Amino acid sequence: MHSPTAKVSGFVVLMIVQIIFLVLFWLFVRYEKTALPRAIDAEDAGSANEHVSKYPQFQDIQVMIFIGFGFLMTFLRKYGYSATGFTLFMAALVVQWAVLMKGFLHMEGGKISLSLENIIDADIAAAVPLISMGALLGRTTPIQLLCMSIFEVALFAANEYLALHVFSICDCGGSITVHAFGAYFGLAVALMLRPASDQNEAGKLEGASYTSDIFAMIGTTFLWVYWPSFNSVLAEGAGGERAILNTFLSLAAATVTTFVVSALVSHENKLDMVHVQNSTLAGGVAVGTVCNLLLGAHGAVLIGIIAGTVSVLGYRYLTPWMTSNLRLHDTCGVHNLHGMPALISAIASAIYASMATVGDYQSELQDIFPAMVGTNGTETKILGGLGRNATSQAGYQLFGIAVTLLIAIGGGILTGAVLKYTNFRNLKKDEHHQDEHYWEVPAVENKEE
Amino acid sequence: MHSPTAKVSGFVVLMIVQIIFLVLFWLFVRYEKTALPRAIDAEDAGSANEHVSKYPQFQDIQVMIFIGFGFLMTFLRKYGYSATGFTLFMAALVVQWAVLMKGFLHMEGGKISLSLENIIDADIAAAVPLISMGALLGRTTPIQLLCMSIFEVALFAANEYLALHVFSICDCGGSITVHAFGAYFGLAVALMLRPASDQNEAGKLEGASYTSDIFAMIGTTFLWVYWPSFNSVLAEGAGGERAILNTFLSLAAATVTTFVVSALVSHENKLDMVHVQNSTLAGGVAVGTVCNLLLGAHGAVLIGIIAGTVSVLGYRYLTPWMTSNLRLHDTCGVHNLHGMPALISAIASAIYASMATVGDYQSELQDIFPAMVGTNGTETKILGGLGRNATSQAGYQLFGIAVTLLIAIGGGILTGAVLKYTNFRNLKKDEHHQDEHYWEVPAVENKEE
Amino acid sequence: MHSPTAKVSGFVVLMIVQIIFLVLFWLFVRYEKTALPRAIDAEDAGSANEHVSKYPQFQDIQVMIFIGFGFLMTFLRKYGYSATGFTLFMAALVVQWAVLMKGFLHMEGGKISLSLENIIDADIAAAVPLISMGALLGRTTPIQLLCMSIFEVALFAANEYLALHVFSICDCGGSITVHAFGAYFGLAVALMLRPASDQNEAGKLEGASYTSDIFAMIGTTFLWVYWPSFNSVLAEGAGGERAILNTFLSLAAATVTTFVVSALVSHENKLDMVHVQNSTLAGGVAVGTVCNLLLGAHGAVLIGIIAGTVSVLGYRYLTPWMTSNLRLHDTCGVHNLHGMPALISAIASAIYASMATVGDYQSELQDIFPAMVGTNGTETKILGGLGRNATSQAGYQLFGIAVTLLIAIGGGILTGAVLKYTNFRNLKKDEHHQDEHYWEVPAVENKEE
């Protein structure tokens, strides 16, 4: 049915990729100065600890990537090994690749400086192909995931550079550069890999079991709990505290709303675990880009209510429509958890940017909207007329999401084409959503269990 | 059997509650100064980070509330969706309500200042109705839980204000104000909702399956691990380190003791998972009120031994007695995990308070027992005769728990009466302890699984 | 079949042990000065917080010990209660014993000073018997585990003192003193308890079920995520940041390599969950001893690749060979996860030590290789000729692992002999790997589940 030779050659390619990483690390990567021993006669002692002050938030994000995403995807009844295992595999691959790719864009003297910041960035980058994997869950081989990750992370790094450093948009929690990019890239790949029209019905394994649903709640809950760390880790000063507060309140409001809307629109008014597992988190995505702005508690709550509503309605109506009409399967519903809430976040960022004033943001304007103070990080006169005005910044926010969508969808279509039409093995319909094609699975358990 | 209309109207009420929260946030809540941008010409730069120094402990508490409580309650074989889902729902609801309710008690200029501290307090407040929910687990509708939470958190905030700011009792880890309150409130509600005497036998779903018991251990273990954060988060200075050390040692001793007593009193001397899941944590509750005092390692260990013993004996003998004789079902045994250990903690606090001297506590006396230095936080002369003496402080500790019990039980009875005799739908006996009345549950799995 | 009386007397012994701990705490343990109230007229206010700056890392290690080890061992289909329960029990016992045993080696004025540092050390010590338990999983009684832990932790504390303070080896992440010690001690005990030659075939319960494998991934993933905290918690200054970076990269490389090698060597080229659950972590062990050295990113990645390869090959070929030929069962394969990777780490430490120069390590040389600056922590002249040279330090690294192996294996054989030939009850073959001999297990579930 599937040839072991193809599998073997795929894994050999993976080993070669890992060895190329090794060589690139050797050639290009060096510890940053803060991670090197101080000279014997140096004076400033205590600064080392300062430099790792974001370590607890980094660890929270680690849990989100490895536990959060991994377990969120265990909801399929026979795909738990792949959900947790391939998450581990992809994240381990991508963090290395992201250190290199993002490093190449910020080299000094031909070398990449390695510090805690780089691996925080790498963890955030790992979220991108994991989001895309959610759209494709159960319908790709690990070697296809490998290939997709390599392409996607390179494009992600380029797009992020463009958005943050060229267009100077604000995107503190990464809803535009991470969530929208990952979701629409994955959906574009899924569109390219869509089944023939006579094979479009959902497989019987494309659903949950009682136990697998509870495993998935492990993922949901850790993502919920640590989301404030994801959104705030790159914020500066008091913006960090606002990012925490706004994310927390938006998640809480989205969660309550999810329960309401789920009960109102579902069959027999029963709650649907898919909504609870996913739409409760939409508040974290929708507040992402604007989490460090002066939303006020009510702004955060309002964004959460909108996000929860849109997300549940997406699961209930839009996803089935896309499956039937476009043959676009979105296994985890990343469009409802990451895609649309990220669009909400982008729109919110344009609205709040259009209202930003020096009077409100004071000394933080430079951190949050550097282009509005006529500078991208160097010295400036804050009140000067060199920068963008608020309306212009709002326009750039919308331009940023538009370019992101363009690159994500274009890149996804190209990547999907490569996966479909070149030499990669594609899974057949009856191989979908089950572990046993790639994993040794225990034989059927005996009756007494 | 149950009318969808009732369900729908319940969820509509919930949406209205969420929108009322939105309006209240808009009217009353503003970021605290530390979370606002500094003025451009301000000088004190580094203080923002200082202000969020408790963020890692906050995150630990988040895990306790959402993962810890949620998974601890998954032990029922057919109630895992509700355990994890309703925990998420109630916590998301209560944190918003708690920010408002506790905020109203500390308004300045008609506004509530929002900072990290408020959401730490809100997470702690979320523990209260979740403890009560443990007593009722599987026997209430989500709308009853909503109603209970709203009443309970308001009363909790009032009682806490009374205990800490009027009676000036010490309660660092919240055993009196959180654990005792939540447990006895929940038991009082359970008493009001008790079954008719001919329906008192335990249902066949009121027990664990092999898998559900292991899910519950996720909850237990995270609660165990992060309990030192719960107890120490509000402690000041060196008291914070003592709170960590004492909680850790008390938990360890309670755990060892739980295994011993469980084996000695159980059927065939086999260990009982209910004890391991719950009584191991009793050490954290029993040391709560006194965790920042000068207990010494031996004091903490002794408290742990007593708590483990009392808790296991409670599960083994007292809970079945209450079920048979009072028809008081306590699904999770919160009386044994939260109720009695909290009473132990209150008694311990009276004992240690009666021995407190300025010589021992030095400059910390003011933080820990402010009334003993004749002040509640303003300037004072520490050695002066204005304050309470130690015996009097001990008396106030006992008075504090007594008032807490009174308000909790009284409030619980009233709330239970509202839930029972007003328009709320009550679950019937055969609807207890199963998800399928409120959740879409996968159809019976096919044989091969 | 097994006498309740023996069980009862075992648990009574355990209670006596707990009470002895209580007495020892009372006699010998006092809070360290930092955890005591400051005198009223003292000046240095802010230092208390400083002292608990490692608290977040401590909490990460707590999760590793209790959740990580506990759930990693749930992979057996009918041993999940024991895996999570006995981990909780042993860790709670050992942390108390470790505070005492390690304290006795560093007493001042006849008293042990208790601070956060002691319980960090105690948590690390708890890893040691938990690693050994992995080798024996399912084949010992809890009372045998109790006895083993008491012996093992005493020997561990002595060996660690010898290695770090007498031989002055570097072992930042504890691969030599913790992982090698725990693994070879456990294997030596397993050798002593090996089955008669006619009972050597693997039992049908010595394997996973689909659900138990996913539970085990909870353990794997938390260990993976928090391993940087384990390795870096005792590092000083910039070495702490290097420890984080090196551990992270080594884990990532080991993970990718594990997937490759597992697919290449397994039956039908399918991935094996045992490899994914365990060998992905080998990178954390193999980088442990050297994690704070100047490995460079490439050094860390190379170590990870080697560790992943060796570990998978060990599971695939060496463990079955040991089972067949030596009757040495290693249930969790601790030899492949902890044993061999720790040897790799020791060899790496000799290589890197042989290249260490003052020019590279500057002011950190004293922290990392104190004997090379002619001092073990007191004042010194860094460039003086009193210290060891690099080659000599390399020799000491090898000497350190050799002595560790000697003490671990010798101690394990002695302990195993005590467990086998004295009065302890030994489990019979048909009692292996199942919970029901020590736990009340739910009756067989009814059909509809």
Cβ of residue B214 closer than 8 Å to a chain A Cβ? no
Summarize the confidence of residues B24-50 as an average pLDDT.
Answer: 80
Q: What is the pLDDT, as a whole number, of residue A382?
A: 43
pLDDT digits (tens, 9 = 90+) for C118-136: 999 999 999 999 999 999 9
Cβ of residue B229 closer than 8 Å to a chain C Cβ? yes
Phi-psi category of residue B374: left, alpha or beta, with phi > 0 → left and psi -120 to 50 → alpha:
left
Residue of chain B whose Cα is closest to the Cα of C65: B225
Cβ of residue B257 closer than 8 Å to a chain C Cβ? yes
Summarize the confidence of residues C71-76 as an average pLDDT.
Answer: 95
Q: What is the pLDDT, as a whole number, of residue B444?
A: 61
CB contact under 8 A, B272 and C34: no
CB contact under 8 A, B273 and C62: no
Cβ of residue B252 closer than 8 Å to a chain C Cβ? yes
Cβ of residue C433 closer than 8 Å to a chain A Cβ? no
Domain that holds residue A260: 55-354+389-422
Q: Which of A47, A78, A96 to mutate to probe the C interface, most C CBs <10 Å?
A: A96
pLDDT digits (tens, 9 = 90+) for B394-421: 999 999 999 999 999 999 999 999 999 8
Q: What is the pLDDT, as a whole number, of residue C351?
A: 97
Q: Is the pLDDT of residue C367 over 60?
A: yes
CB contact under 8 A, A42 and C363: yes
CB contact under 8 A, A25 and C249: yes
Percentage of the residues of chain B whose pLDDT score is greater than 90: 76
CB contact under 8 A, B214 and C14: no
pLDDT band at C53 (very low <50, low <70, confident <90, very high): confident
Mean pLDDT score across all residues of chain B: 91
Domain assignment present for residue C376? The answer is: no
Which CATH number characterizes residue B416's domain? 1.10.3430.10
Which residues in chain B touch residue C59, judged by CB atoms under 8 angstroms apart? 56, 60, 225-226, 228-229
Q: Is the pLDDT of residue B49 over 80?
A: no
CA distance to A260, A445, A446, C101, C447, per residue, from A449 (Å)? 38, 7, 6, 43, 11
Q: Which of C2, C22, C448 to mutate to probe the B interface, most B CBs <10 Å?
A: C22
**Contact present, B232 and B292 (Cβ < 8 Å):** yes
- For the beta carbon of residue C50, count every other beta carbon within 10 angstroms: 11
Residue A240 contacts by C-beta under 8 Å, 6 or more apart in sequence?
A232, A292, B48, B49, B52
Collapsing DSSP to helix, strand or coil, C225 comes out as: helix
CB contact under 8 A, C214 and A215: yes
Q: What is the pLDDT, as a whole number, of residue A385?
A: 43
Residue numbers of B between 146 and 185 with CB closer than 8 Å to C: none
Q: Which of B201, B211, B61, B91 is nearest to B153 (CA)?
A: B91
CA dihedral of A133, A135, A137, A139, whole degrees rounded to 10: -110
Of B221, B239, B271, the CB nearest to C67: B221
Q: Which of A218, A256, A265, A372 to mutate to probe the B interface, most B CBs <10 Å?
A: A256
| Residues B148, B85: Cα–Cα separation, whole Å | 17
Residues in chain B: 449
Q: What is the pLDDT, as a whole number, of residue C141?
A: 92
**CA dihedral sign of residues A328, A331, A336, A338:** negative
Cβ of residue A369 closer than 8 Å to a chain B Cβ? no
Which residues in chain B touch residue C35, judged by CB atoms under 8 angstroms apart? 238, 241-242, 245
| Residues C371, A378: Cα–Cα separation, whole Å | 46
| Residues A50, C57: Cα–Cα separation, whole Å | 15
Burial of A154 (0-12, 13-18, 19+ CB in 10 A): middle
Domain assignment present for residue A444? The answer is: no
CB contact under 8 A, C84 and B221: yes
Cβ of residue C116 closer than 8 Å to a chain B Cβ? yes
- Which tokens go with C206? 């010595």
CB contact under 8 A, C264 and A8: yes
- Which tokens go with A132? 């895309």
pLDDT digits (tens, 9 = 90+) for B112-133: 999 999 999 999 999 999 999 9
Q: How far is C69 from chain A (nearest CA, A)?
A: 16
Domain assignment present for residue A234? The answer is: yes
Cβ of residue B30 closer than 8 Å to a chain A Cβ? yes
Instruction: Give strand pairing partners of C271.
Output: A439
Residue C116 identity: L
Q: How far is B93 from chain A (nearest CA, A)?
A: 6
Strand residues in B257-337 grouped as ranges (E): none
**Contact present, C63 and B225 (Cβ < 8 Å):** yes
| Residues C63, C86: Cα–Cα separation, whole Å | 15
Which residues in chain C touch residue A449, judged by CB atoms under 8 angstroms apart? 77-78, 209
Which residues in chain A touch residue B211, judged by CB atoms under 8 angstroms apart? 211
Backbone angles phi, psi at B138, to 5 degrees: 90, 0
Summarize the confidence of residues C94-115 as an average pLDDT.
Answer: 94
Cβ of residue A119 closer than 8 Å to a chain C Cβ? yes
ipTM of this model? 0.94
Domain assignment present for residue C440? The answer is: no
pLDDT digits (tens, 9 = 90+) for B271-304: 999 999 999 999 999 999 999 999 999 999 999 9
CB contact under 8 A, C296 and A29: yes
Q: Which of A443, B139, B50, B256 is nearest to C22 (CA)?
A: B256
Q: Which of A15, A38, A95, A431 to mutate to probe the C interface, most C CBs <10 Å?
A: A15
Q: Which of C1, C13, C15 to mutate to probe the B interface, most B CBs <10 Å?
A: C15
Domain assignment present for residue A343? The answer is: yes
Q: What is the pLDDT, as a whole number, of residue A1?
A: 42
Q: Which of C205, C285, C208 is nearest to C247 (CA)?
A: C285
Domain assignment present for residue B108? The answer is: no
pLDDT digits (tens, 9 = 90+) for C308-330: 999 999 999 999 999 999 999 99
Cβ of residue A89 closer than 8 Å to a chain C Cβ? yes
CB contact under 8 A, C114 and B53: no
Strand residues in A75-205 grouped as ranges (E): 112-114
Q: Which of A229, A289, A221 is nearest to A255 (CA)?
A: A221
Neighbours of chain B (3+ CB pairs under 8 A): A, C
- Domain total of chain B: 1
Domain assignment present for residue B436? The answer is: no
Cβ of residue A67 closer than 8 Å to a chain C Cβ? yes
CB contact under 8 A, C271 and A114: no
Which residue stretches of chain A have pLDDT < 70?
A: 1-4, 42-51, 374-386, 444-449
Q: What is the pLDDT, as a whole number, of residue C375?
A: 52
- Which tokens go with C335? 């030899």
pLDDT digits (tens, 9 = 90+) for B351-392: 999 999 988 998 899 889 999 886 544 433 444 445 789 999
Q: Which of A8, A30, A55 to mutate to probe the C interface, most C CBs <10 Å?
A: A55
Cβ contacts from A onto C, under 8 A = 202
> Between residues C240 and C41, which one has the greater pLDDT?
C240
CB contact under 8 A, C18 and B257: yes
- For the beta carbon of residue C112, count every other beta carbon within 10 angstroms: 23
- For the beta carbon of residue B104, count every other beta carbon within 10 angstroms: 13
- Which tokens go with C218? 């909870």
pTM surpassing 0.90? Answer: yes
Backbone angles phi, psi at A240, to 5 degrees: -65, -40
CA atoms within 13 A on the CB side of A24: 15
Which residues in chain A touch residue B7, judged by CB atoms under 8 angstroms apart? 263, 269
Neighbours of chain C (3+ CB pairs under 8 A): A, B
- Which tokens go with A404? 């992101």
- Which tokens go with A117? 């910041």
**First-last CA distance in chain A:** 31
Collapsing DSSP to helix, strand or coil, A30 comes out as: strand
Residue of chain A whose Cα is closest to the Cα of C57: A56
Q: Which of B173, B168, B194 is nearest to B403 (CA)?
A: B168
- Which tokens go with B156? 């909790």
Cβ of residue A21 closer than 8 Å to a chain C Cβ? yes
Summarize the confidence of residues C291-308 as an average pLDDT.
Answer: 97
Backbone angles phi, psi at A111, to 5 degrees: -125, 150
Domain assignment present for residue B433? The answer is: no
